[in-house]
Amino acid sequence: MKYYVSLFMLFLLVACGTGNNEKHSGASNDDPSANYMVGFVEEIDENRVLITENRLKESFSDLEPEEMNQKAGNAVYFSLDEIDDNLRKSLTKKERISVKHGAVAESYPGQSSAQDISRKLDEDFDVIDEHGGIQNTIFFESFMQKVEKEEETQLRVVRYTTEGDPIFYNIQYNGEGAYQIYVDARQDNYGTAENVRQVSCDHMEYYLTEDQSLQFQWTECQNEGGSLPIFQASTPSDIFIPDQDYQGWKIVIDGEVLEESKDKETINDLITKIREANYQSVITMSLMAPDGQLILEGDKADIEFDYYQDGNLIRYNTYIDVSS
């Protein structure tokens, strides 16, 4: 790892000790004089974690020394010797957290010891389930596409309790069919969790419920009694067509493009039809094999549906009847 002496050291020490303080909303904040740093997990190893004030698009190690402070803001390596093992293993790159810490050594990045860690909501990048209304579904889509390609990937989902308290789910997929899910319910004021718990699952299932919600859950789980629901979208169209900018669509049958368009009005008409369609669980139906694929081309991810030549679609085990 690189260490750099910085002319900004006085600023760093002040910012980490006071100016960057934020009330600790995970474990109890019973020491108002303690130091807290709120930032993003940039690097993780067994014994320490690097937290940066700003969320970086690139890796911290790829930055030139002269641009590190400008792009990353405050940056501190925290040792994890005092952190619970499950909490340590649950840390996910780029997630937003709050660190209670001791004194910061005079270097850039700074060096300190983490005394406690809690998670902070990231409204821009967390998949947020607030009583069935799902936000930032495009990140779930990106996660699912990597799972289908058997690539290692991770995701953070935040579900809110009836009382409005967040429960964090850090989901790590190993690229070989297994999921490690870390459930952090320490901020549930009506719960009893004192530590992050780990659940290992072998499969993920999704289906349309009788009340027209789209249920996602992990099954064949250890330490959880068989299944672990992650979220239930009360508006399935939010999952079928994640919020992003769409530039076109095409119908592909037997590897050939049958029809396509990049006309904005045509794209919007198609999206409206899918959003307003009738939905039915494929589990309750007898269906022929799809004829091909309908692909919506987005700026962040392409969205693929199984396609029938009558115009109807299938996605996430749901039959989307756009013709009725």
Q: Is the pLDDT of residue 81 over 90?
A: yes
Give the pLDDT score at 33.
66
Q: For 108-114, what is the mean pLDDT?
A: 96
Dihedral angle of Cα 9, 13, 19, 20, to the nearest 10 degrees:
100
User: Residue 150 is which amino acid?
Assistant: E
- Residue 294 in contact with residue 251, Cβ under 8 Å? yes
Ordered by where they begin, the domains of the chain are 9-119 (2.40.50.140), 127-238 (2.30.29), 244-321 (no CATH)
Structure tokens at 251: 């119908």
Q: What is the pLDDT of residues 164-196, one digit of tens each?
A: 999 999 999 999 889 999 999 999 999 999 999
Phi, psi of 119 (to 5 degrees): -95, 145
Q: pTM for the complete prediction?
A: 0.86
* DSSP 8-state code for residue 7: T
Structure tokens at 159: 């579900």
- Residue 242 in contact with residue 303, Cβ under 8 Å? yes
Q: Is the pLDDT of residue 36 over 90?
A: yes
Please tell me the distance from the alpha carbon of residue 19 to that of residue 33, in angstroms, as a whole number. 13
Mean pLDDT computed over every residue of the chain: 89
Q: Is the pLDDT of residue 20 over 50?
A: no
Q: What is the pLDDT of residues 254-286, one digit of tens each?
A: 999 999 999 999 999 999 999 999 999 999 899
